[in-house]
Amino acid sequence: MSQSNIAPCPLTIGLDLGTKSTQCAVYAPNRERIEERKIRMDRSGVTTFLRRFSGARVVVEASTSTRWVADIATELGHEVIIANPRSIPVITASVRKCDRNDARLLAELGQLQPSLLSPVHLREDRYQAVRSLLSARKQLVKQRTALVTFIRSEVRVLGSSLPSCGTKVFAKKCRSLIDAPLREALDPIFDSIQLLSELIAGYDATIDGMCERQFPETKLLRQVHGVGPLIALAFVATIADPHRFRRSRAVGAYLGLVPRSRQSGGCDPALSITKCGDRMMRTLLVSAATRILGPHGTDSALKRFGKRISERGGQSAKARARIAVARKLAVLLHSLLRSGEVYEPLRGCNPAAAEIAA
């Protein structure tokens, strides 16, 4: 009598998290679905349900509620897999999508082939707290920019314009230039912009203090021109444990800075970057790359690399150069964070060329 080649599976629970209720699907080790139900989406409801099982594999999608659900499941001794919803089109693009089918598919994939879920890493609480602070600052910057744009557009309606200046000094520099008919309407907006600037400056001071006291490893990253406290702290909080990446090159893909691929037969078109992973970190890296390639950027291997790409001509070449430098910068920062080495700006460059550039 031949033995089955099918490996035993764990008891698996798929949870399709909702706002008020959560759909559950439970699969036995023999891959038979043994229970389906809805539970209340609160700590009591989730804890009561998961406590009925022991040593299960709990599969959930990444969402705003995932962290506390995963904490409860882990405390009860379950294995937790957090699925990346962008990587499971069998669920997100299904023509028969509903909570019940989503929970079933999560459980089935988690039981048979967890790698297909592209499991995501859950950050420690201290890193998540930093991420929340950076997100709050980002919201204030966004609001300030919107208010500045509003004032400029209102001034243009009357045939005037305001001089170019940074948003930090916009209120002080441009308030006195507003024509009398608009002052009553726009003065409160200027006050709001000034208040937002003060609040953002407060966040920046907090970030500086956190870099000095709580995250001294950010000093390693700030060796690179264009990387200040904000970008350094954001990178540390986003990567968390640098040793979870086998190679530094993987960080570029993790942050969505590598080209998409759609190769088939002899066709292999050049596509844009994947834009997977953390959008805020990716934006900050591109911003740093822009400074590195700018007129005030110091000579470095990164800048020379970007210049070689941008010299191929056109705005598209400059855009590709920024992305390429951002990707290399991500790899460099991870390498510095993991190794603790002293940064050498011209490492790998021709010594003779370095002397000429100096």
* pLDDT of res. 26: 97
Q: Which of 51, 64, 59 is nearest to 16 (CA)?
A: 59
Q: Which of 168, 60, 42, 167 is nearest to 120 (CA)?
A: 60
Residue ranges per domain, the chain? 12-117, 126-214, 219-339
The ranges of the chain with pLDDT < 50 are: 1-6, 352-358
* pLDDT of res. 263: 67
Give one DSSP letter per residue of 37-87, joined into a string: EEEESSHHHHHHHHTT-SSPEEEEE-STTHHHHHHHHHHTT-EEEEE-GGG
pTM of the model: 0.85
* pLDDT of res. 327: 96
What are the angstrom distances between the C-alpha of 114 and each of 57, 110, 203, 210, 246? Answer: 10, 4, 40, 37, 20
Fold of 12-117: Nucleotidyltransferase; domain 5 (3.30.420)
* pLDDT of res. 7: 55
Residue with tokens 């490996």: 7
Residue with tokens 């740093």: 288
Residues near 74 by Cβ (< 8 Å), separated by ≥ 6?
A: 80
* pLDDT of res. 2: 39
* pLDDT of res. 97: 82
Distance CA 9, CA 32 (A): 11
Distance CA 325, CA 322 (A): 5
**φ and ψ of 152, to 5 deg:** -60, -40
